[in-house]
Amino acid sequence: MSTNHLRHAQQRLRHIAAEWPADPLRPKIQLKAFLTALAEHPALSSTAVAAANALHQNRVSGHVSHYVPIPQTVLKPASMPLHYIRLKEGYEKTLKGIGRPWWKIFFGVW
C-alpha cells in the first residue's frame, strides 16, 4: 500500500472507530479500541479496511436484518417460547442497573 493510500485507510479506520458505540456490558473489551489499534498497524491492508467499512455500513443501515429475515420458529422455540423475549428484557434491565432478586434466581422465577 502506498503512503497516501495507507494514510487514507488509517483515517477511515479512525473515523469508524470514533463513531462505533461503546459496549456497556463489556467496558474492557471494545471494538473501537481494536479498530484504533488496527489503524496503527504497520501491515494494514485494504482488505481489513474494506471489511471494517462493510461492518460499519451494515450497523448504520441495518441492512443485514432486512436481508436475512429470522423465522418465528427460531425466535420462539417450541421448548421455551419466551426465551429471547426474557433475554432482551434482561439485557435492557442490566443496562439500567436493575438486577434480579436472589430469590427469583434461586427458585427460577422470571
Provide the residue range defining the domain that includes 78: 72-107
> pTM score, two decimals?
0.65
Is the same domain home to 12 and 42? yes
| The pLDDT of residue 35 | 94
- Identify whether residues 53 and 80 lie together within a single domain: no
| Residue 33 shares a structural domain with residue 76 | no
Number of domains in the chain: 2
**Whether residue 91 sits in one domain with residue 62:** no
Q: Taking the CA of residue 84 as centre, how many other CA atoms within 13 Å lie in the half-sphere pointing to its CB? A: 10
Quick one: 62 and 76 in the same domain? Answer: no
60 and 23 in a single domain? The answer is yes
Domain identity same for 60 and 8: yes
83 and 58 within one domain: no
Distance CA 12, CA 62 (A): 20
* Cα separation, 109 vs 81, whole angstroms: 16
Q: What is the pLDDT tens value at each position of the chain, 110 positions in all?
A: 678 888 999 999 999 999 998 888 888 999 999 999 999 998 899 999 999 999 898 888 876 667 777 888 888 999 999 999 999 999 999 889 998 899 988 998 87
Residue 39 in grid coordinates: 489503524
